Structure 1
Amino acid sequence: MSTGQSKRTDPAAEDAAPGTANPESEDRTDRTGGGAQAGSESASDAGDANGESDHAAAEIARLTAENEKLRDQALRAMAETENIRRRTEREKEDTAKYAVTKLARDLLDVADNLRRALDAVPAETIEASEDLRKIVDGVAATEKGLIDTFDRHGITRIDPQDEKFDPNFHQAMMEVPATGKPGGTVVQVLAPGYVIHGRLLRAAMVAVAASGEPPQRVDTSA
């Protein structure tokens, strides 16, 4: 073998030489590393999706609770508004009903005086005088007109003769003994009472039968 002849290099030896990269090995490494990275990215995406789902659920719960709170407030406000409306209507009706209370109370004395004038004239005197009868008829017509006006405004006369005494509508001025009626019975109406739409305007002034019977006299002359 001559010294001038060049050496032939073994291709397999060159492939196995140190420091030389193996293409197949690099390809396997790339595939392994890429799979691990893809798995990590998938897990990260799944975690993000779960986090977003939890956040959405919490937001829905918060909005639901807020909606219930606002609904409750709205219902309470509606109920309060309805109560105010009803109270206003009731006060308006009461004002309309009792607007004439003061005037009616002042006119009660007029009604009393008309009745006293009629009661003061004896029936036989009226029959004896035509002129007096006309005057009495005029006074009676005036009294009736006043009472009719009271009725139109819800003012009703109380005349509790022979009725049980009622402290809500009657005022006892005296007790009358030995009337032969049960105790507490109205035996005389001194002045009639009046109510306006069921509310007391003036109590009837009455005399009532005394409770119990007076003691019987014992005859000791025998």
Structure 2
Amino acid sequence: MTQKPTRPEVVDETLDAADAPENAAPEQEQAEGETLEDLVNERDDLKDKLLRALAEMENLRRRTEREVADARAYGIAGFARDMLTVADNIQRALESLPAELRDNEAIKPFVEGVELTERDFLKTLERHGVRKLVPQGERFDPNLHQAMFEVPDTSVPNGTVVQVVQAGFVIGERVLRPALVGVSKGGPKPGSAESGPAAPADEPKPN
């Protein structure tokens, strides 16, 4: 008996070929998703670094402007502090002259000349931001004044400057030298009905 030749099996690769892209798609999408996430993270990281750099630059700019302003306002502080001795000596010269001699026709022009020199000197200091403090009658402020002694006085509120031993000086908002003062005690408390309105304190603060 003659055997029929067998046909070789045909493998249907059509289905496998069709299924391959579908199987690869999720993996490709996953890879693309990871890449996109990495790019977003990198973008956010760079954005954060940029914002930090901008903030640091702004702080640096403000700090530089403040330092420049301080240098302009207080650059002469050392020189001005040395000049306080000159102001003190002029004041001592005027105070050392007896009152009866001030009206003497021979001495009066000299006294007026010294007083004019003192006024011009103080005006020159003021043009450069240096002011003289004579807190007579003001409320004692430890930021601006230095108490040397207490004076019993019930006629003024407690803690009022009743005597100025030495004038103080400020430059801008800083104290060059506190005023040396005598302070009252025994009077009503500041701000009470008996004390009346309190004298305003100056604004400058110590170094």
TM over 0.5: yes
Give how far 1:20 is off. Answer: 4.1
2:181 alignment partner, one of 206, 209, 212: 206
Runs of at least 5 residues in structure 1 that lack an aligned partner in the other structure: 1-15, 214-222
Counterpart Cα distance in 2 of 1:70 and 1:171: 56
Which residue is equivalent to 2:140? Answer: 165
Give how far 1:82 is off. Answer: 1.1
Amino acid at match of 2:128: H
The C-alpha deviation readout for 1:122-179, integer Å capped at 9, x for no partner, is: 454232224x222112211211121011111111111110111111111111112246
1:71 alignment partner, one of 42, 47, 50: 47
1:50 alignment partner, one of 21, 26, 32: 26
With structure 1 as the length reference, what TM-score do the two structures score? 0.77
Structure number with bigger Rg: 1
The two structures, once aligned, show a CA RMSD in angstroms of 2.2
Which residue is equivalent to 1:97? Answer: 73
With structure 2 as the length reference, what TM-score do the two structures score? 0.82
Give how far 1:53 is off. Answer: 1.6
Which SS does the other structure have where 2:180 is aligned?
strand
Runs of at least 5 residues in structure 2 that lack an aligned partner in the other structure: 189-207
Which residue is equivalent to 1:138? Answer: 113
Amino acid at match of 1:166: D
Q: Which of structures 1 and 2 has the larger relative contact order (alpha carbons within 8 angstroms, sep 6+)?
A: 2
Counterpart Cα distance in 1 of 2:21 and 2:183: 99
Counterpart Cα distance in 1 of 2:183 and 2:59: 45
Counterpart Cα distance in 1 of 2:98 and 2:91: 13
**Over 6 Å off, 4+ runs:** none
Counterpart Cα distance in 2 of 1:212 and 1:128: 41
Number of equivalenced pairs? 188
Which residue is equivalent to 2:3? Answer: 18
Which residue is equivalent to 2:56? Answer: 80
